[in-house]
Amino acid sequence: MSLKNTFFVGWQDDGHPRLPFDRLLKKYNIKPEIWPFIAFASFAYAFNVYKAIGLVLPDFHHESGAVMLRQLWEVSLNLHWIERDSNKRAQDFCNYTIMEFRKCVQKSGDSSPLQGFDDATNRFQAEFRFQNKRGKNQTHSNFAASTVQQRAEELGDPWQSDYALLYYLASMHAHGAPGAILHQHFVQQSKSPEAKEKDSTALIAYMSMKILIEDIRLLVRQGLARDSKAADDVFRDVLDIQNKEA
Burial of 2 (C-beta count, 10 Å sphere; 0-12/13-18/19+): exposed
pLDDT of residue 165: 82
Cα separation of 22 and 14, whole Å?
A: 13
pLDDT at 118: 83
For residue 45, the model assigns a pLDDT of: 92
pLDDT at 29: 54
- Taking the CA of residue 78 as centre, how many other CA atoms within 13 Å lie in the half-sphere pointing to its CB? 26
pLDDT at res. 62: 86
- Judged by phi (left if over 0) then psi (alpha if -120 to 50, else beta), residue 176 lies in left
Instruction: Give the Cβ contact number of residue 130 at 10 Å.
Output: 12
pLDDT the model gives residue 239: 67
CA neighbours closer than 13 Å in the CB half-sphere of residue 203: 18
Per-residue confidence (pLDDT) for residue 194, from 0 to 100: 52
CA distance 211 to 74: 10
Break the chain into its structural domains and give their ranges: 3-9+19-91+149-245, 97-141
pLDDT tens series, the chain, 246 aa: 344 444 444 445 555 544 444 555 565 555 557 898 899 889 999 999 999 999 998 888 888 999 999 999 999 999 999 999 998 999 899 889 888 888 888 888 888 878 788 888 888 888 898 888 777 888 899 999 999 999 999 999 999 999 988 888 888 889 988 877 876 655 555 555 555 555 578 888 889 999 999 999 999 999 888 888 888 887 887 767 666 665
Closest by Cα among 25, 144, 22 to 92: 144
